Each structure stands twice: as C-alpha cells, then as structure tokens.
Amino acid sequence: MASSQPRDTGLAWDADRAAAIIAAHAGMEGPLLPALHALQAAFGHVPAEAVPALAHAFNLSRADVHGVVSFYHDFRDHLAGRHVLRLCRAEACQAMGGDALAARARERLGIGWGETTADGAVTLEPVFCLGLCACSPSAMLDGALHGRLDAAALDALLDEVTP
C-alpha cells in the first residue's frame, strides 16, 4: 500500500481527548460503533492506542474491539490522504460506464483501491452504492456528491485534488 503522510498535527494521538470521546459514549447501549465513528472523526483513523482504551472503558477484550474495527470497511488503521475520492463500483454505476471511469481514475492517480498517492494528496476508495443510482455513475469527493460523471467530469474532479 502506498504511504500516506500525516496531514495535520491536530490528528495526532491524544490520550485525554480519546478518553473524553469514549467517556461521552459510555452511557449508550451498544456504544462501540458510535464511539469508533467519533474517534475516527477526531483522529482521521482509529489509532491502535484506541483499542485498549475502548476495551477497558466498555469492559470488552482487546480482541473483541479489534474484531469489530477490522470487520467494518469504514474504519481505517492509518490516515487517508488529504482528499478521499470514493468511486461507486456497484451495478447501477457499472451499467453507465463506471468500470471505465474507475480504470481512468486509477491510471491517472497511479494507485490501486485503498491506496494513497505518494504525495499524500489523494486516497482512492471503492464504495458500493451511494444511493444515486438514477444519476449514475457517481462518486463522493471529500463528502461532496457527484453524479452523471463522465470522463471529463472525473478529470475535473481529479484536477481539483492533484497538483
């Protein structure tokens, strides 16, 4: 996997901040997923240090927590690039040329799925349906949605995020 560089020192591990986030979820029933989402939102990924902290706070084994973190595609164990491009790879987008767009994106960025460009600018991820199936092919770039993509529109998105 290509390397990614920390983009922001604000994302560095902070045990007190993590403890506060975890404590804020302690009163919930089934707190683990909401706490993991909150930790990833704060730190850009789920740092390894968070696993024992979660296990201790929620009375779980570290294996339990690791099992959950590794089960779900959303949770990262390292930082993503400065921009995250998620291209839909599911059937409705395949029907409208999504595969060709995906190949174009990988070629232009020179990376595979789940990888980050060497300069840390862009992470490319597959997504299986954004619910924009009547405006396909679709993508999400840093949380913003894009539909009815074609080669030119994809190039414009990539131009925004690559130097």
Q: Which is nearer to another protein, 81 or 125 (CB)?
A: 125
Q: How far apart are CA 48 and CA 36, in angstroms?
A: 12
Q: Which is nearer to another protein, 28 or 48 (CB)?
A: 28
| DSSP 8-state code for residue 157 | H
* C-alpha distances in Å from residue 134, one per residue of 25, 61, 64: 37, 44, 39
Joined tokens for residue 143: 């949380």
- C-beta of residue 127 within 8 angstroms of C-beta of residue 86: yes
Q: Cβ of residue 95: shortest distance to another protein, in angstroms?
A: 4
Stretch that binds another protein, among 6-14, 114-122, 130-138, 155-163 (CB under 8 A): 130-138
147 binds another protein per the rule CB under 8 A: yes
Stretch that binds another protein, among 1-9, 15-23, 84-92, 154-162 (CB under 8 A): 84-92
Q: How many helices (H) and strands (E) does the chain have?
A: 7, 4
Q: Which of 21, 22, 36, 85 binds another protein (CB under 8 A)?
A: 36
- C-beta of residue 54 within 8 angstroms of C-beta of residue 35: yes
Q: How do strand 144-146 and strand 122-127 relate by DSSP bridges? A: unpaired
- C-beta of residue 49 within 8 angstroms of C-beta of residue 43: no
Q: Which of 83, 111, 136, 157 binds another protein (CB under 8 A)?
A: 136
138 binds another protein per the rule CB under 8 A: yes
Contacts with another protein by CB under 8 A lie at 29-34, 36-37, 58, 64, 67-68, 71-75, 88, 90-96, 113, 127-136, 138, 140, 143, 145-148
